[in-house]
């Protein structure tokens, strides 16, 4: 606080004030100076608090705006909506296929496996027949000499 003055300077100022003002009015003058300093400090603290409050309010407004933007452009809800649309389309497709395919005898209960959501049911469980490929014999080179 007293970076501007050293103790010697302050002592000289007190002596000059004692001589100029007088010992009778010096306590009243110091009391008045103390009140002015207290008012100045209170005003500075109030200004600092109001400035901090404005900064905090601006930061809160910015955070609210970011939250609203995230709510509008939430990728998770977009993915969930897309998944529900795909599920609805797949169930509609499966029901249409079920209507247009001939009814077969149901398989035994222990062999029936329900497909998980998003998977297609396999209708033909027979193993494919092995394919035979004819093998050519290697051609031997003959020399005409």
pLDDT beyond 80 at 69: yes
Instruction: Determine, yes or no, domain membership for 79.
Output: yes
Instruction: Determine, yes or no, domain membership for 113.
Output: no
Contacts 24+ apart (CB under 8 A), 5-10: none
pLDDT beyond 60 at 57: yes
Instruction: Determine, yes or no, domain membership for 18.
Output: no
Instruction: Determine, yes or no, domain membership for 49.
Output: yes
- The per-residue pLDDT for range 94-143, each reduced to its tens digit, is 776 666 665 555 555 555 667 677 676 666 556 666 667 666 776 666 66
Cα–Cα distance between 67 and 60 in angstroms, integer?
10
Enclosing domain of residue 69: 23-98
The gap from C-alpha 5 to its chain's centroid, in whole angstroms, comes to 53
Instruction: Determine, yes or no, domain membership for 133.
Output: no
At residue 93, the pLDDT reads 75
Instruction: Determine, yes or no, domain membership for 105.
Output: no
**Which pTM value belongs to this model?**
0.39
Task: For the chain, give the percent of residues with pLDDT over 70.
Answer: 63
Instruction: Determine, yes or no, domain membership for 134.
Output: no
Distance of CA 70 to CAs 67, 75, 82, 100, Å?
A: 5, 9, 18, 45
What's the domain count of the chain? 1
Q: Band of the pLDDT at 67, cuts 50, 70, 90? A: confident
Cα–Cα distance between 117 and 97 in angstroms, integer?
16
Instruction: Determine, yes or no, domain membership for 2.
Output: no
């Amino acid at each position: 606080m007293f970076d501007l003055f050293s103790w010697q300077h302050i002592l000289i100022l007190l002596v000059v004030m004692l001589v100029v003002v007088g010992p009778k009015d010096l306590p009243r003058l110091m009391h008045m100076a103390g009140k002015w300093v207290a008012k100045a400090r209170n005003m500075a603290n109030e200004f600092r608090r109001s400035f901090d409050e404005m900064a905090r309010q601006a930061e809160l407004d910015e955070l609210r705006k970011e939250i609203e933007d995230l709510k509008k452009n939430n990728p998770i809800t977009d993915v969930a909506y897309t998944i529900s649309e795909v599920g609805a389309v797949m169930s509609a497709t499966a029901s249409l296929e079920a209507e247009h395919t001939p009814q077969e005898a149901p398989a035994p209960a222990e062999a029936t496996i329900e497909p998980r959501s998003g998977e297609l049911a396999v209708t033909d469980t027979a193993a494919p027949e092995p394919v035979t490929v004819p093998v050519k014999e290697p051609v031997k080179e003959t020399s005409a000499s």
